Amino acid sequence: MRLIIAEKPSLARAIAEALPERARREDGALHAGDTVVTWCLGHLLEQAPPEAYNAADKHWQLDRLPIAPAAFKHVPRPKARGQLAIIRRLIKRASSVVHAGDPDREGQLLVQNVIEHLGYRGPVQRLLINDLNRPAVKRALGALADNATFAPLYRAARARAQADWLYGINLTRAWTLLGRQAGHSGVLSVGRVQTPVLGLIVRRDNAIRDFTPYPFYPLWVDVRVAGGELRAWWVPRAPHPLDDKGRLLERAPADALAQTLPGSHGRVARLSQQEKRQAPPLPYSLSALQVDAARRFGLSAKIILDTCQALYERHRLITYPRSDCRYLPDEHFGEAQRTLAGACRSDATLGGWLDGADFSRRSKAWNDSKVGAHHALAPSGKTPDFARLSATESRIYRLIARNMLAQFYPPLVTFEVKTELTFANEAFRASGQQVLDPGWKPLFTTREEAPPLPPLTEGEACEALAAGVETRETRPPEPFTDASLIKAMMNIGRYVDDPAVKRTLRDTDGLGTEATRAGILETLVARGYLVRRQKALRATKLGSALIGALPEAVATPERTAQWEQRLSAIAESQDDEGAFQQALLTDLRGLLTQSDAGKLRHSLQTAQGEAVPAATAKPKRPRKKSAPKTRRPAAPPKGSRS
């Protein structure tokens, strides 16, 4: 008997439907001739608790840390014992096993843990499925691989899981026990990914709290040229008082110049004109979809993920959603017209866009070299019944179909103009854009980014018609939302200074993965570290206190970069998981020596607004750019923007 073990029941059903013989359900499995398909329910196993290794660790004690098992154990999840018993019974009869976990690191770990936990030692093949529709599943069944090929990926996944256990168990116990000494009765959870995400939000909240606004004074001038009129903005220079962004900090110079401008003559000193061609946005990865849908519809990352799972598993309208890739296999190009015809025919908007698509066009989205375990989200080709979809499912589906359709539209072609005008030896700048060919843009928006400028010629004369000075005020950074936080997690390298760490974070998945980011946000909310205020994600007093008390290295993303670098090397057989774990234990011991109940007590009291002595700081003044002999004032608050 051949036993196929799928990660979820929906995948098991799709596999059974693609087998040559009709399947019947019996005893927790689907039987089709000599092949039996069964399933996990997500993770059937979990890491054993500390007391499974030593009974003394059932009670939390600082002097028992770090807890480091010599060999890790797994135990069944309480609600999974029945399904695990079914797989145990079937695997004893199996002459071969097919591993049908999701095609990623976590999927490799999930099913292989079950196979190894049950002691199976026979041949194992690997089935990789990205699309639950029957033709795609049949192709995958005809291209089984040797599971041994994925052993390095499994070792990397196992190393990650064990390291997260060591890190979370030891630091959570340490800071929870310190919290009790400091008067906090609850658990203070610390994690390798969740805590840097919380730190990101706390630092943003602090920047907003500490921000001191200050005014600046932009000057505009309306100008007549031979081809029409335009508005330009003054570019002040030293010795006028400027901040680091070149904004004028005193009004008097702008007022004085504005009075002299009307009726004066100048010229077009510089002119840059170029035609730009912009390719359509690529199909979505999960995170890119979460960012876009959260901005458009105000949905949480978790709702978007759950919606995608429903579109994939229940409705079978899209391909595997937990993908970090925005490219498609080359072979999908030839099937795209048929796929999109089926995907779009029942919707008037999508159908209209389908009619405008040119399927002879080939965008850069089709690229085998950029497709790994997953490819981008795409419609499966099944025709949707929108009456059976929720409003949110319909919206998300249309976004996925739209980005796929956009690959068959011409590029957006614009004519962009930037100019610098001079009046009385002062520079003024203006820019504009003219759409020559909207290409794919109408599928996304009909709004123009900048109005076009009139025709200009470098060196031509111009006349100032009117001028004015505005009073504006710098604004603090915006609080994080689901959309901006997911984007920050994707591009976490922007928030670190070390160039090597930046590069590693850029080359990996960033902070968290496509499959875990939404869950991390919900975990932080559930544990009382974050709250949602309308669309904004804000740290609670408890979340702020925890970040204030932890060593900086725990609350910043550099460790993730270091881990991912080594995990990638393990997955490529270039590093050893044992050495990785020993390095982690050395790191943990160093972090535990930095645990300080007094610091945590102070942090908790400060966050709760209790009477804690604090230095009184004077408001910061913005830095001014001035003549060399002028003394330079203090820098403006970080995060200021116009």
Residue 403: closest CA among 342, 473, 353, 447 = 353
Q: Which of the following is catalytic: 154, 167, 284, 320? A: 320
Is 320 in the active site? yes
Collapsing DSSP to helix, strand or coil, 336 comes out as helix
426 contacts: CB under 8 Å, gap ≥ 6: 234, 235, 236, 257
State CA 396 to chain mean position distance. 17
User: For residue 565, what is the enclosing H or E element?
Assistant: helix 558-571
What single string gives the DSSP state of each residue in 600-617? HHHHHHHHTT-----PPP
Distance CA 217, CA 221 (A): 13
Instruction: Compute the Cα dihedral for 433, 439, 440, 445 and give only its sign.
Output: positive
> Quick one: 588 exposed, middle or buried, by C-beta within 10 A (0-12, 13-18, 19+)?
buried
Distance CA 155, CA 145 (A): 18
Collapsing DSSP to helix, strand or coil, 428 comes out as strand
Distance CA 109, CA 247 (A): 54
Distance CA 164, CA 173 (A): 14
164 contacts: CB under 8 Å, gap ≥ 6: 191, 192
Q: CA neighbours within 13 Å on the CB side: how many for 636? A: 26
Known catalytic residues?
320
